[in-house]
Structures are given as structure tokens and as C-alpha cells.
Structure 1
Amino acid sequence: MKDSRIRILMIDDDEDDFFLVNTLLQDVNGNGYIIDWAPTYDRAIEAIGQKEHELYLVDYRLGRYTGLDILRHFQQIGYEAPVIMLTGKGDYAIDNEAMMAGASDYLVKGEITGPELERAIRYGIMEFRHLRTIAENERKYFGIFEKSHDLIVLADCNMNIIEVNPIAVRKMKYSRDEFLQMNLKDLFVQEAEAIQFVQDICGDDAIVQKEFSFKNKDGQKLEVLVNANKLDEQLGTFLCVAEDITEKKREELDKRQQEKFVISGRIARVIAHEVRNPLTNILLAVGQFKQEDAAGNDDRQLYLDIIERNCTRINQLVTELLQSTRMMELHLQEYHVNTLVKNALALAEDRIRLNDIRLHEFYTEENTTVQADDEKMNIALLNILINAVEAMKPGEGMLTVTTSAENDKACIRIRDNGTGIPEENKSRLFDPFFTSKTKGTGLGLTSTQNIIINHKGTINVESAPGEGTLFTITLPRA
């Protein structure tokens, strides 16, 4: 059976003092303690190394050493334990120095009674256990804070940022010192969202799994799922834990786009079948009628031409719809992503120059190659570049084209400072025949999306009225 008594080591070169202290404790609680004795500094160091005692009673004077040397040894070996310093007479300077060196208490030998000594030992052990529990909890929570994969921000109700974890530094691309000079609203894309967020959290309500849009130092948007709770009512501090769901939302959007693309293809094939058959019959009948009535001089010839012309136009639209929504045969070769972009820009060069658009190009220096059909990718990129040019005012436009390598993806970003796209139109942007232009079929971006999907890539758009538009294309690296 394990001995439940508390083991104490008394370090003192006077055997009489050891006897007296032992007697005092035995009189108060004879079965509660086992006291071992170390009469020299060397014996004490050896016993401390065993780490078998819960508390240490240390005499201030130990020959050429002092009790402070014992305390310094504890610090040197990184061993934490409660230490009570004993001395022959009270000395404030020694008392203060001992406490600064880590002693939990300081007692004068000739003045202590058994109950006082026992209480000092009991309180010393209890306080040490309590502090160790606190320290362990701090280490545990600090580990969670430091190693969490989520962004963690500690802030107050004035929106001042107090602390951030390393993942927040990495994701948001601000240094910790920059963060501590910032206001919480600087992280939100919409300032109104930030103000409402703080009003909610600094009221009585916690925020549980609410989505917001953050922006990092480079202006890139992060979609985050936030959980927040107030920590201290008096200080008005709260903890905000934000899970980055940007990639998850992008994957969901890509999946929806692919599903919509498949559905559009089915609809297009149905339309082609149901519309082309009667169109063909009408065109054949018109042609036959024109041959039989070639000598007519009235307005019938004019009406027949109108019918024929519009039937042909409908037929062309059906053909374009089919081409923009069907899986296509690609002639793949390996190209550097920079080459694909430069080829498309060369085709758009006249439009860019005629509209006096400033062009900024930033190309990756990595060897980032993709498997692509050069001709099809020219069509896809040119559609986006032309849309960007047309969205900007001549002489005021700025077109920024960037390529980068991100893990196993090659990224192409095309940004303009044009009129932007209303929120209600963004979800329909790639739909067949959807267009905000007075002229156009609305199949350009549908075709672009088809080409990117056939290359096993993704295309996403970020835009707001008056803030321009950003198209992001990702392609798998070769």
C-alpha cells in the first residue's frame, strides 16, 4: 500500500534544529509527515536530484553556502517545488531576497510554534499545487492558441486587437506588431459587418458559427466562419475564433457551377433537337417556295428573305449554345502559364491600346506549366480580357494580370477597375444567354467556363459595383 504521508527534506547543518523541527511536527500531526535530513550542501544537492520530496525546509546558513544557493540550484536544474527558508533571526533583507529567489515562505526558528510550522507547510504545498495547476492550464491553452489551425483574435469592445495567434499572422499577412496597432474593423471587407459584430458580441449574445468576409494585407478576400465569446465583462474583452472556409466555399461553388454546366448542356441538346427539326423544315419550304415563285414581283420575296434570315440566325444561336455547353475535344500540350497569358494579351493588344488602358503584368518566376489547348485557352482568356476592357472608361482603365503558383495549381488573375458587377448578376454570370450588354449573345463567359472546366480547372469572380472585377482561374500544374 502506498504511503500517503507527505515527505519533507530538511536541509540544515545543525542536528539539534532538525530534531526540534521534527518534534514540533510530530506533536501537531504525527502521522502526516516524513522528514528526511540533509546535513550538508552536497547531500542536499544529491537528495534534490532524486525529486522525492513535496516540500523543502532550508536553513539560510549552510557552512560556506547559504539557502539562496539551494534556491538557485532549483532554478538551474529547472525543478519546481515549494521551499520554506529557515533562519536564526529575522532579517527583512534576507526575507525579501529569499522570496525573490523563489521561496514560498520565510520563518524564524526561535519564534515558530508547531501549529504555525505545520500550517506554513500545508499552505506552501497547497499553493504550489494550485499554481502548478494554473501553469499547466496556461500551457495547455497557450498550446491550443499557438497551434490552432483557425484564426484566433483577442480584442476589446473598442475594436482594438490585443493578441493574435500565428495562423492569423500567416493567413492575414500582417505581422503581430502590425496587428496590435490595428482596429478589428480593418479585417472585415464590410465595415458595417464589423460594427454589427462588435455590437452583438459586446451585448449579451455570443456569436456562434456566423459567416463573414475578411480581407488580408494583400486585399485578398477570406470567407470565415466565426465563433466568438466575451471573456471579461469588466475589461470588455472577447475571443474571436475564425475558421477559414474560403477553399470550402470555392469548392462548393465549383461543384454548383459544374452541375449547372451539365444541366445547361442537357437543356441545350433538348433545344437543339426540338428547335432544329422544325427550323430545317421551314428553311427547306422557304427555299422551295422561292424557287417556284421566282417570277413574283410583289412583297412576298421580302418576307421570305426575312423568314430565311431569322431562321438561319436561330440555327446559329443553337449551334453556339451547343458548342458552349458540350464537352469538347482538347489538343493538349505543355505550356508555361505565362505563355498562355501573353498569347491572349497579344490578341487583345489593339483593344487595350485603342481604349488607352494601363496594363500591369506580374508573372510568376517559377516553372509553372500546365497541360492546355492553346487555341481554346486563347478564346477563354480573350473573352475575359475583352469584357474587362469594355467595363472600363477609356483613358481611366487599369488592367492587372497576375500569374502565380499555389501548391499544385497554376493561378491566373485578371483584375479591372471598371463598373463592377451587381450581386444579383454574379450568380448568373456564366449562364447561357445572360448578358448586360445591349449587343451580344451572352455565350462568351459560358464558353469560357466550359473551356476551363474541360481543362479540369476552376473560374471564380469577385466583384462589387464601382469596385471593379477580379476573375481567378486555376489550372492543375503539369
Structure 2
Amino acid sequence: MKEKRKRILMVDDDEDDFFLVSTVLQDVAADQYELTWASTYDKALEAIGKREHELYLVDYRLGMHTGIDILRHFQEIGYEAPVIMLTGKGDYAIDNEAMIAGATDYLVKGDITGPELERAIRYGITEFKHLRAIAENERKYFGIFEKSHDIIILADCDMNIIDANPNARKKLAHSREDLLTMNMRDLFFLESECKRFMDEICTEDAIVQQEFTFREKSGRKISVLVNANKLDEQLGTFLCVAEDITDKKREEQEKRQQEKFVISGRIARVIAHEVRNPLTNIILAVGQFRGEESTSLEDTTLYLDIIERNCTRINQLVTELLQSTRMMELHLLEHDLTTLIHSALSLAMDRLKLNGIRLEEDFAPQQAMITADVEKMNIALLNIFINAIEAMTPGKGVLTIHTAVEGKTATIRITDNGMGIPEENKARLFDPFFTSKTKGTGLGLTSTQNIIINHKGHIQVESILGEGTTFIITLPAN
């Protein structure tokens, strides 16, 4: 008999994102999921009210609302269902807020692959069914308890272990008899983590998707992702479900290390290429200088000028690289966002007029104050303005600057109608020395990104080849 497809609702105001997720799921898990779409907040509430889906994929940005509002709606109507929060950029504050509000998982759109998304959906549905079964029926609970691949431990109000499933005994290398004489404190590798666990399980009544380090009998560390809930308020018993992520963390660490080697190698090759040209000129000048038996004052001056000019070029390259990547000292003051943008625009005004670029401004009606270093922000914004101007056809270009304020976040969108950026170049856009310009150093956008990050902001780019490019900057607003 063919297995019934699992119904999933995706709440996202971007049709392209829905199409991509639908295509990815079909590629990695054909005919296992039926994905439907709610394009607005109101449509999402209507669909959720029908309670027809097994899992919900919710975008964090939903016009005037956010995915957190959707999670709160689940709580208001007393509907429990697995919800995976999706967002365009990783943010620990959003992650933490989403988990507190009841999200099953939190994924960054640009970082997830098809298999990772399918696994998150599958795990979200399975884990939710497990936990609901435990709460609803004791008989079903013990079936899951015995067969689960996770570590499951039942403890009393004094943290004494009452029971542990077979996988817990296997992972922790203790017999059932040993575990029943132990306290939860004995499982933690770090005393500080143990204290945090006990404080939170007592005050918040639940621990959701938090990482701790357990120790097995021999003392070996085990990294675990813990969900813990009180089962009986009067008796004080609680259930701890821990997923062993030791191998997963090791693989992720190895992957990050490999990525560092790749990035280091790419930067080293680019530096070698950029430095080799002026260095070759210096060597040739020195060789020519030495090879001549008698050198006139004019030739001597020429050779020394070549050497000095190329040494200066090498020094400039090294200085620009260091400035574009290092943590910088900022002179922070409170500034009006619109005034800050006009300050940077004034530096690009001559270029705009010279190239016949039309400027369109669409600033938020409410005042937004941000804490910033004016000099550094001028550099960051000017780099983007210059890139936009150079990408547009003189006399036909339109540079649009739009700002918006939502809560404690200010957003700047800088859009041009230029040539656009090829898809293969987007991922490398902020890499040091990467440039498509014949005379560019490739450090401008690297410096811009560094400045924005130092201001605790984010920068991303959207581009359509032949139509134009938009840089999106988000900054904390006061």
C-alpha cells in the first residue's frame, strides 16, 4: 500500500522561495510530502485554523508580521504542531526567540541543502509525534521509550534517575541498575551546564533544543541536543530526551576547517598574483640597474622611481587587505539614518551628475536613530554607490535608495538598474580581492561588509542579470 503523503504548509510571502522549497523536496523525497502555500499572514491563520497539516514551514519576515506572531497564534488557539522557522540570515536572537515561542527548529535559507531540509522536516514530524504520544498515552510512551534512537531519561524532582531507555544505557555505557542509583548531575561533564539545566527545568518547566555535554562511564564527552519537559507538576517528574550529536559536531568542525583551508588558499593565491606584478617590475629594474656598467643620473632616477612606485603599490595592497578584514575601532555616536545616507551621497554626487544617473529617494516617514561611526559608514555606503554607478549605463541609470524601520531594526535598500551580477559571482562578492573590474582591487565590498558587521548589522545582495542589483543593509535602530 502506498504511504500517504505528509501535508506541509509553507507560510512565506515570496513565491520564489515556495517554488524552490517545493522543487528541493520533490528532488530529495519524491512523493513523500504534499506542500501547500499561504502567501500572507491572514491566509496562514485561516489554513492553520483548519489543522490539516503535519508540519509548518514559516518565514520569519511576513510583511507587517513575523513568524513569531504565527507561533504565538498556535499558542493562543491551543494548537500544538511542529513549526520550522525559516529566515534569510542567521541570527541568534531570532533563533532563541523562535525556540522560546515554540518552534521545532530554525533554518537559514541560504545555508540549508535539500537533504538537510528534508531531514529537519522528517525529524520535526517524528519528534513531535513522539512527544505527543508520551503525553497522551502511557502505553505508547513506553513503546517509543524502548525503541527511540535518542537518549531518554526519566527523573524525579530531586533529579534522581527513575528510568533510562536502552539507547541511553548504550550511549552512556552504564547498566540500567547503575543508572537507577545515579543523579542527573552525574551525567553532566561541566558543573556550570548542570546548574543551568536544573535552574531552567525548575523555572521554565521546559528545555527545548539546548546543547549540553554528557559524560559516559569511561569519562568520554558526548555532545547532546536536549529537550526536557516536566511530566507531572505535583510529583515533579520530568522527561529528558537527548539526541547524540557528537559525530555530527565533529563532521561540522572538520567541514569548517576544510572551508578555512579553501578560503586561506584562495586569498593566498590572489595576494601572490597581486603582489607578483609589482615585484617583477622591481626585480627587472634592479637587474637593469646592476647590468649597466655606467648609469646616467636620468636612468638611475627612472629605475629608482619604478622601484619606489611598485614598493608603494605592494604596501598599499597589504594595507587595504588588513583594513578590510580586521576588527576596527569605531567612534560611535547617535545619528539620524536619513542624514547619514545623505552624508555618503554627497561624496558620490559628482559621479552621479557626471554619469547622468537619476537619484530616487524613498525614506521612511518616521525618524530612525542608529549608533554609528559616520566616517566608516560613509566608506561602506560610498563603496556601494560607486559600484552601482559603474554598473549602470551613463544617461540611463536610476539609483534608488529606500529605507524602512520595523521595531528595533532599520533597513537600507540600495538598488540600481545596471547589468546585474552573474549567479556564480554572488557567493564571492564579499571575498577579498574578488572583482570583475579591470582596475579594481576587490577590497571595496569586503571593507563594506566588515564595517556593517562591526556595527552589528547584516548586508546581503539580490541581483537579476540584465535588470539590476539591490544591496540590503540592516542595522540596529535606537
Normalised by the shorter chain, which TM-score bucket? 0.3 to 0.5
**TM-score, normalisation: structure 2:** 0.45
Larger radius of gyration: 1
**TM-score, normalisation: structure 1:** 0.45
